[in-house]
Chain A
Amino acid sequence: MSLTATAANSRWSLFRREALRGLAALIMALLVAFLVVLFTSKEPFEAMFQLLVAPLQKQRTIGLWIDDVAKLTVTGLAFSLVFQARQFSMGVQGQVYMGALAATYVAMSPLGTTWAAIPLCMVAATLAGAVYGFIPGYAKAKLGANEIVSSLMLNYIAIDIVNYLIRAQLSPPGKGLLMTDPFPKTAVFPALIANTRIDLGLIIAILCILGVWFALYRTSWGLKLRLVGHNPKFAEYSGIRSTFIMVSAMTVAGGLGGLLGSMFVNGQAFGKLTVLFEGGLAFEGILIAIVARSRPLAVPVVALFYGYLRQGAALMGIRTDVPAEVIGVVQAVIILLVASSFTLPGKKLIARLTRPAGEPPVAGKAQEAQP
C-alpha cells in the first residue's frame, strides 16, 4: 500500500472516530437532559418531542434553524481560530456587539440608503470586531495580561456601551423603545428563501468556512499559527514571531465576530439594532469549536446538530413547562464529555460506554497529525 493510501485510510478512520465521539457525547447529554426533564416536568415526553422533532415540522422553524446554523458556524470558526493558536480569548460576544454597532452606524447614515450599504456595513463591522479582538491580543502579547479575564471584561464593557448608545442616541427619541428604527431596505440582507430568515448570512458563513480552512491549512500564516498553538517556544526558535501570530489570530477572529454582528443586525432576523439582540449565541461557539476539535470543516456539521437542538429547546420552552435554558445543561454535559475524551482516561471511559458489543477497543497507534 502506498504511503498516501495509508494516510488517506487513517485520515478517514480518524474522522470517523471523532464523529462517533461527538455523537456519543451528544447522545449522552440528551440522556442526561431527558432524565432531568423526566423528574421535573409534568409532560416530559412532550418536552422531549418538542426538543427533538418539533423544529422539522414547520418551514418557519426550519428557516430559524438554518439561520442559527449560519451564525453558530461563524462564532464557532472564530473560537476555532483562537483555540488553534492556543489562546483562550473569550471575547467573541463583545466583538459581535461592537461589530453590530459599527454596522448600525453605517446603516443609519446616508450611506445606508445606497446600493453599497450592505458591503459597507459588513466591512465596518468586521473592522470594528477586529479592533476589539486586537485589544486583548495586544495586552497579552506585550504585557502577558491574561486574555481570559481581559476579553471577558471587554464583553461586559461592550454590552454596556451599546446599551447606553441605544438608549441615549440611537433609538428614536420619545418612543421609549430600546431599539433603533428599522434599517432601510438597502441595508438589510436579502432573504434567500422567501419568508424565512435564511438570508445572505448563510452565504457569508459558507465563505467564512472556506476562508478559515484555506488560511489555516494552505497559507504559511496558518501553519505558523498552528505551530504556535502546538509549541510557542518552538515557533520562536524557528524564527516565527509568536507574538505577531497570537495577536493576528485574535484580530482575525475578532473580525469574524464583528462580521457576525453585522449578520445579526443587517439580517432578516432583526434589520435593526436592539438591546440584547445576541442572546448569548456567541458563547455557544465555544461548544461548537470544542466538539469540532477546532477544525473549520467540522464546525458547520456540529453547528447543524447544535442549532437544531437550540431550536428544539426554544420550542420546548414555549410549548411546555420546561424552559429553553435546559439546553445549558445539555451544552455543559457535551463540553465536559468531549473535553474529557481528548485524553486517555476519558477516552477509555467513553469507549467503554459507547463500544458496540464485540468490537475491540480502538488502538492508540497510527496517530495522524491534523490534516
Chain B
Amino acid sequence: MTELLLTVFSATFFVTVIRTTTPLLFAALGGLISDLSGALNVALEGMMLVACLTAVVVSVYAPWYVAVLAALVAGGLLGAVMAFFHLKLRADIILVGFAINIFATGATVYALTLATGGDKGTSINLPSKAVPAVDLSFLSAIPGIGPTLTAFLSGHSILSWLVALTVFLIWFFLYRTPWGLWLRGVGEYPAAPEAAGIAVNKVRAWSLIVSGALAGLGGAQLAMFNYIGFTREMTAGRGFIALGAVLLGARHPVGAMWAALLFGVFEALSVVMPNLFNWIPAELIHMIPFVVTVLALIAFSYRIQRRLRMRGLA
C-alpha cells in the first residue's frame, strides 16, 4: 500500500499522468465544443485514429510539426464530412458519427498496409518521428525547490503545454467573445440566434471542424509521444472516454479538464500497477478507465436526476 502511495505521489507519476491526459483532454475539448453547439460528436474515436495514422505517415517524410499539422487537418476534414452529411443532408448525427468511426477503423488499416508495404498491425517498420519534449531542466538552478520543479515540469510534450493553453483559449472563446455566445446560443436554443440572423448551420459546421481538429491533435500526441508509431485500433476507446469527460465536466472547459485528468490518472495507474501488484490481472487493470467512466456517468446522472425528480422523468 505504501508503495502505491509513494508511486502515486511521485514526480514520474505526475509526468505519466500529464502524458496520458493530453490526448484525452484534446478530444474532450473537441467533444465539448461540438456538444455545446448542439451537435454531439461520437466520432472523436475515429477522428483520433485517423489523425494518429496521418501523423505517423506524414512524419516519415516531413518534420514533426508538419506531421502534427497534418493530423490536425485530417481531423478537421473528418469534421467537415460530418458537417456535410448531418447539416446539409440532414442525416442523424449519431449514425454519421458511427459511420466515421467504422470508416476510420477500416481505412487506417488499409492505409497502414499501403504505407508499410504489407504490415497490417503496426507501423514499426516506418521511421516515424516524435513530438519533442520541452526541457526545463534549467529550473534546477533555482535554490531549494529547483530540482522538484524540474522533476514535475520538465520533459512534457510540447503538445501537453499546448493543451493547457487550449483550455484557457476555449474558456475565453466561450465566455468572453461574441462567437462563443453564438455557439452556446445555437446549442441551447437555436431559434434565438437564427432570429438574430446568425447562420446556425455555419456555427455548427465550424464547431464540428474544430472538434475534429482538436481530436486530431489528440491523435498526434498519442502516436508521436505516448507511443511512437501506429498500431491498429490504438485509440482503444479514448474517444468515448473523452465524451464521458465532457459529461462529467458539466460541459465546461475547466470541468472537462478535471475530468480528463481523472481519467488520465486511471490510465496511468493501469500502466504503473502491474509492476506493483502483479497479482491483479492486466486485463482488469486495463478495464479500470472504462469502469470509472460508467460509474462517473452514473454518479453524474444521479445528481442531475435528483434535481429533476419532480418531473417524474424516471
CA distance A45 to B300 in the complex (A): 54
Tell whether B252 is near chain A: CB-to-CB under 8 Å: no
Give the residues in chain A near B88, CB-CB below 8 Å: 345
Q: Which residue of A lies closest to B241 (CB)?
A: A153
0/1 per residue, B235-252, Cβ < 8 Å to A?
011001101100100000
The B-contacting residues of A in range 313-349, CB under 8 angstroms, are 321-323, 325-329, 331-333, 335-336, 339-340, 342-346, 349
- Complex: how many Å from CA A336 to CA B88? 12
Q: What is the interface of chain B mostly: helix, strand, loop, or mixed? A: helix
Establish whether residues B314 and A243, one from each chain, have CB atoms under 8 Å apart when the complex forms: yes
Q: Report the separation of the CA atoms of residues A328 and B247 in the bound assembly, to the nearest whole angstrom.
A: 29
Q: Check A149–B110 contact: CB distance below 8 A.
A: no
Interface string of B294-311 (1 = CB under 8 A from A): 100110111011001000
Is the C-beta of A34 less than 8 angstroms from some C-beta in chain B?
no
**Distance (Å) between the CB of A57 and the closest chain B CB?**
24
Asked if B213 is an interface residue, CB under 8 A from chain A, the answer is: no
Q: Which residues of B274-296 are within 8 A (CB) of A? A: 281, 283-284, 286-287, 290-291, 293-294
CB distance from A264 to the nearest CB of B (A): 20
Known A149-B240, A336-B85, A336-B96: A329·B247 in contact at CB below 8 Å: no
| Mask of A265-298 contacts with B, CB within 8 angstroms, 1/0 | 0000000000000001001001100100000000
A40, A152, A287 interface centre (most CB from chain B within 10 Å):
A152
Interface extent on A, as a size class?
Answer: 35 or more
B110 interface neighbour in A164, A326, A346, Cβ under 8 Å: A326
A329 with B314: in contact, given A88-B94, A342-B92, A345-B90 (CB under 8 Å)? no
Residues on A with C-beta less than 8 A from B241 are 153
Cross-chain contact of A322 among B110, B294, B302 (Cβ < 8 A): B110
A88 to B106, CA, bound (A): 22
CB pair B297–A146 under 8 Å, yes or no, is yes
User: Does B109 count as interface, using CB distance less than 8 angstroms?
Assistant: yes
From 90 to 108 in chain B, residues with beta carbon under 8 angstroms from any chain A beta carbon are 90-92, 94-96, 98-100, 102-107
Q: From known contacts A150-B294, A152-B237, infer whether A144 and B98 are also in contact, taking CB-CB under 8 Å.
A: no
- Inter-chain contact B99/A336, CB cutoff 8 Å: yes
Whole-angstrom CA separation of A90 from B237 in the bound complex: 13
Tell me if B91 and A336 are in contact (CB < 8 A): yes
Give me the 8 closest cross-chain CB pairs, A-B, nearest first: A328-B106, A332-B103, A339-B91, A164-B283, A340-B89, A343-B90, A335-B99, A143-B301
Show the binding face of A for B, using Cβ within 8 Å. Answer: 36, 40, 88, 90, 139, 141-146, 148-150, 152-154, 156-157, 160-161, 163-164, 167-168, 243, 280, 283, 286-287, 290, 321-323, 325-329, 331-333, 335-336, 339-340, 342-346, 349
